[in-house]
Amino acid sequence: MDKIKVRQICFFLAALMPAAKMLVYPTTLVYRSKNDLLFSALINFALEGGIVALTMLLAKKTKMTFFELISNTFGNVTAKIVYALFALFFFGAALLPLMEQKNFVMQVMYENVPSIIAFAPFFFVCFFACVRGFKSIGRIADIALPLFILSFAVLMLLAVPHAELGALLPVRGVPLKEVLKGSLYSVNWYTDGALVFFFLGHFEYEDRAAVKVLSSYAAGCAAVLLFLALFYGVFADIAVRQQNAIAQMSKYTTSFTSLGRVDLFFIFMLALVMIFRLCIPVQVCVHCVCRSLGVKPLIPAAIVSAALFGLTLFLNYSFLELQTLFTQKLWFVFLIFAYLIPAAALLLKRGERRA
């Protein structure tokens, strides 16, 4: 069985989770919540943190996976159907971040806009990661943490001198309805709790594991909140137009030095962490397909990776429409699969936890 360590789950939440929220998410949040964007983010973090806490509670009580919990309660057929639905969910959840990352790479890392084929190597990396299973997620997390800490710290330090945090005032200057809409319409960026939920039964619960995992989650949340505060402090009223947010914040520090934009080195480093993060929902999707169909991961990994590549080609010029679909139309799907169904797992029959 695929195994991942508690340490690696901690690294995932502290490094990979915040990295996924640094491109288009800030502008989406600002569109509704404006200078109260931190409150919208806090609502989502509280809900997602509840799912992480629930996962650790279940892990303490049972060694069963989510598939086994469903099978133990409703039977094997129901478990396969639920996993098939989650495979579709994680496939869809991977699509918008994939398009975000593709646009980021093509717009920030190339002087001239390259062919979309320049992004194709990612799908080979993704295929390899899917074949390797959850073990590769653990290794990804081990590599990502130092890269994230270094790159994030430097980019935030470069942004601090240009941030006017007074732009966040007045607090609660935006109607509560808009703050809640900002939270609701950005819920598709909060699937990390659901990813951690699918690690259930794939890691050994150890002493103080819940404290370690939740502390790491809190650290990741703090990183995102700091980033959002500095982002709005730098751009204020024009923040809503700043796509690829992490690449915009530090450019004023280095643009006119004799060395050029040295911040790009750290942006490239953070982009590598983002690439790692992109693989994980695809890996969980393939895992769900394998459990649902009872097959090895090689063929599902190839089909899912090829399908994502084909959709990337097909939707190459439709990012805005895709973003609108996910944020304003399909938010209820994310609420159901990322929050309601995992929460309902508390009602499933659990076997006795073996020592």
> Is 1 a domain residue?
no
What pLDDT score was predicted for residue 355?
Answer: 40
Rounded to 5 degrees, φ, ψ at 285 are -60, -50
Q: How far apart are CA 66 and CA 90, in angstroms?
A: 15
Instruction: Tell me the residue range of the domain where 168 lies.
Output: 6-347
Identify the residue with better confidence: 255 or 223. 223
- H runs (alpha helix) in the chain: 6-11, 17-19, 25-33, 37-61, 66-74, 76-108, 121-132, 134-159, 176-184, 192-197, 209-235, 245-248, 251-254, 263-293, 298-314, 319-324, 331-335, 341-344
pLDDT tens-digit series, residues 193-218 = 999 999 999 999 999 999 999 999 99
pLDDT tens-digit series, residues 268-309 = 999 999 999 999 999 999 999 999 999 999 999 999 999 999
pLDDT higher than 60, residue 243: yes
Max CA distance (Å), the chain: 67
Query: Does residue 133 contact residue 282 with C-beta atoms inside 8 Å?
Result: no
> Is 201 a domain residue?
yes
Q: How far apart are CA 171 and CA 173, in angstroms?
A: 5
pLDDT higher than 60, residue 353: no
The number of domains in the chain is 1
What pLDDT score was predicted for residue 105?
Answer: 85
> Is 209 a domain residue?
yes
pTM of the model: 0.94
> Is 39 a domain residue?
yes
Share of the chain above pLDDT 70, in %: 95
> Is 336 a domain residue?
yes
> Is 352 a domain residue?
no
Residues 43-53 as b or e (16 or more Cβ within 10 Å = b) = bbbebbbebbe
> Is 355 a domain residue?
no
pLDDT tens-digit series, residues 26-60 = 999 999 999 999 999 999 999 999 999 999 999 99
> Is 80 a domain residue?
yes
Question: What is the domain-level CATH number for residue 18?
Answer: 1.20.1740
Query: Does residue 60 contact residue 280 with C-beta atoms inside 8 Å?
Result: no
Distances (CA, A) of 59 to 55, 191, 207, 220, 339: 6, 19, 12, 21, 17
What pLDDT score was predicted for residue 259?
Answer: 62
pLDDT tens-digit series, residues 122-172 = 999 999 999 999 999 999 999 999 999 999 999 999 899 889 999 998 888
Tokens of 186: 């950005």
